[in-house]
Structure 1
Amino acid sequence: MAQLTIIATRDAALAEPPRINSLRERVRQFTPNWFAATMGTGGLALALHQFPLAMPGLDALGRTLWMANIALFVLFAALYAARWVLFFDEARLIFRHPVMSMFLGTIPMGLATVINGFLAYGVPLWGDAAIGIARNLWWLDVGLSVACGALVPFLMFTRQDHSLEKMTAIWLLPIVAAEVAATSGGLLAPHLGPAEGYGVLILSYVLWAYSVPLAMSILVLLLLRLYLHKLPPRAMAASGWLALGPIGTGALGLLVLGGNAPALFAAHGLGEVGQMAFGIGIIGGLMLWGYGAWWLLLALLKTAQYLREGLPFNLGWWAFTFPLAVYALATLALANATGFDFFTVVGACLVVALAAAWAIVATRTAIGAWRGDLFIAPCLAAVTEAQAARIAA
């Protein structure tokens, strides 16, 4: 990850986007890909909470990151809501844009990191109040995830222009949201009463199935696209890491759900089913982890290739963080479930790499946000180009 700093000097040679200074124009240009920053920041906060080595101040650092992530999510939600209120006709253009519409899935996934933080950091601070907040936010997250998982693909089928050659891993974003919500449900279930926790666990398994098989199908298409059409353009370089998202989250979801299944199923007379779910969680998690290892190695090789060519910074760089975070969390969950030290060592290394990547991407995002050159709505640019073409004709 440290190699990402190499491109800092190369970006100066590339054409710089216009800088936007006024708040009104920043609202007009605000797009949901900013929520990827909450996914990466929240993912790091949760990974620090699970870090296997005891280090002074580490938990406090993770808690601080989680609280900062809440502030980011609230800010981004306010900005995006303001865009829909003030620029409704322009905001709805996102439904026709074949790239930016995929990032609608980052909204529920960013919210999920906030929810999980309430369970990891909030419960020790506020007790049952934190659980109540997490419960209410989880149901909102489920609604958003289910909607993204169905409506965005429907827009792809009916209103957008897609082809295999133009495909990238961002197709995964609206699909993966449901399995992220499933993992959050697995974490929430043991904090609830037996009846409610059982219902949340059952629904979380359904959400897992709502997402993971379809995401695996998209990965098959993505592999075919890479074989036939080579690597995507440099602007989409970081999207190669997104393949780790559904794999890591899928493994983590099975482990979390399986870990809590025995007690909740046994309370309803299904103890054998709970034990089976526990075993499926470990075996399924191991198999998905191995599958993810291949995509991780491929992502590293692709990133090395892009670095040689020069890699321009954009908000897509947050794809270097959240997929790595969920894969690291799945690795550490496997370490806890199996007692195999290999996963402990690898998980710790992944968290360190995640922290380095986050530091680089967060710093460059903060600079770009201050300067105003990251506020670009591609759906508006597409309309402007189309208008210019009609005038020229």
Structure 2
Amino acid sequence: MNTMASPIQNHRRTFGSVQFLPVNLFASVMGISGLSSAWGQASKLFGTSPAIADLIGIVAIIMFIALSIGYIYKWIRYPQNVVSEFRHPIIGNFFGTITISILLLSTVIGTYSQALGQAAWIIGTATTLLLSFVFVSRLFNGNQEPGNAVPPLLIPGVATLDVAVAGGTMPFTWAHEVNLLCLAIGGIIALVFFIMIVSRLVHKEPLPVGLMPSMMIMTAPFEVGFLGYTNVMQRIDGFSAILFYFGLFLFVVMFFKVFKKSVPFGASWWAVSFPMAALSNAALKYAMFVHSWLLITIAAVILALLSVVLIILFIRTLNMLFNGKLLKG
């Protein structure tokens, strides 16, 4: 009997425990949802099959369900771990990845059922606004450590920009004003927090190695802002072009700082996925507007790079999971 139990116990120890399931893993859903949207745009620009976007969207839905079940179980079984993560000045910001995932998935779900897609958007909007309120209020309590002004700080507040990204075509009479509200909140928070983070990066010590991938998050406000603004205003103008081009410039700068062999792989690497997906969607949308061969080429290169990066992240994350390193304390 003991002989049979031993291998099972060893397997459980190797696989890990759900108590160590990191909340930042929800960033994978954001990235893959964004990839689905990007391939949907590519079908219009390059004539690729819409089935590619549909298949990727299904993967995103499955991943969200699996992660939600795992994290809800963690919340029930190990509530102190979840509370500790939520109160952490850096890790807590990643709870915004859950609400953003719901917003982005509302678009994916909407292709199958408008009613369910709209319901998901309403839930995502309400939870995003609530989370933004909680985290901004927390900062105003004072005595914040300047060293905690790191790129993930952008996630909860700037998440409100994604409300407009996913809700630009919502049919509700009140949706336009809600989108404007969220653009206002996300835009100003992005401006203030971006300055804080740049000041910390310039004047303080470099980020810890584990946080290096999160530097890519700094490009997100500009590309998500571009998508949200153009969705709500129903036009691409000079202001939106400025947002796109600065985000593109910042991406090039951050690319050479983030993608280094010296940065070990971990769940934190998923932080690069959604900013790159937002850039890809913005590049495709802008290229279709300008009709420039150069911008079309840039959009194609970014989409290809995004696809390769997410495939690698997906495979390596599964490898970590089955090797017991992902859910290891």
TM-score by length of 1: 0.76
> Contact 2:147 / 2:200 at 8 angstroms: preserved in 1?
yes
* Alpha-carbon distance between aligned partners in 2 of 1:376 and 1:211, rounded to the nearest angstrom: 35
SS in structure 1 at match of 2:146: coil
Q: Which residue identity is paired with 1:295?
A: L
Matches within 5 A, 1:146-185: 146-158=129-141, 162-185=144-167
Distance of 2:226 and 2:11 partners within structure 1 = 41
Pairing 1:303–2:250 present: no
After superposition, the C-alpha distances for 1:304-345 in whole angstroms (9 at most, x for unaligned) are 5x43xx111111111222101111111221223333443322
2:310 is equivalent to residue 358 of structure 1: yes
1:231 offset after TM fit, Å? Answer: 2.8
Rg larger for: 1
Kept after mapping to 2: 8 A contact 1:98/1:156: no
SS in 2 for 1:313: coil
Alignment partner, residue 4 of structure 2: none
Contact kept? 1:238, 1:316, Cα under 8 Å: yes
1:1-393 residue pairs with structure 2 within 5 A?
A: 21=12, 26-51=17-42, 52-55=45-48, 58-119=49-110, 122=111, 126=112, 130-158=113-141, 162-186=144-168, 188-189=169-170, 192=171, 196=172, 198-259=173-234, 278=235, 281-303=236-258, 306-307=260-261, 310-376=262-328
SS where residue 192 of structure 2 aligns? helix
* Whole-angstrom CA distance in 1 between matches of 2:167 and 2:18: 33
Which residue identity does 1:135 align to in structure 2? Answer: Q
**C-alpha root-mean-square deviation of aligned residues, in Å?**
2.2
Q: Counterparts of 1:227 and 1:151 in 2: how far apart (Å)?
A: 28
Q: 1:376 Cα deviation (Å)?
A: 4.9
Percent identity between the two aligned chains? 20
Report Cα offsets for 1:108-136 as digits up to 9, x if no partner. 111122111134xx2xxx4xxx1101111
TM-fit CA distance, 1:37 = 0.9
Q: Are the counterparts in 2 of residues 115 and 138 from structure 1 also a CA contact under 8 Å? A: yes
- The letter of the residue matching 2:258 is T
Q: Relative to structure 1, is the Cα distance of residues 145 and 349 closer, same or farther in structure 2, using a 3 angstrom cutoff? A: same
Unaligned runs of 5+ in 2: 1-9
* Distance in 1 of aligned mates of 2:15 and 2:297: 48
Distance 1:22 1:115, change over 3 A: farther
8 A contact 2:90–2:150 mirrored in 1: no
Residue-by-residue CA offset, 1:69-125 (whole Å, 9 max, x unaligned): 111101111111112222223321223212210110000111122111134xx2xxx
C-alpha distance 247-205 of structure 1, shift in aligned 2 (>3 A): same
1:302, CA displacement in angstroms?
1.2
SS of 1:321 mapped into structure 2: helix
Whole-Å separation in 2 of the counterparts to 1:368 and 1:231: 27
Structure 2 SS opposite 1:373 = coil
**One-letter code aligned to 1:298:** V
Q: Which amino acid aligns with 1:34?
A: L
The answer as to whether partners of 2:164 and 2:231 remain within 8 angstroms in 1 is: no
Letter of the 1:147 counterpart = L
TM-superposed deviation, 1:25? 6.0
- Unpaired runs of 5+ in structure 1? 1-18, 260-277, 378-393
Contact 1:175 1:215 in 2 (8 A): yes
Task: Report the secondary structure of 1:354's partner residue.
Answer: helix
For 2:47 and 2:227, how far apart are their aligned partners in 1? 22
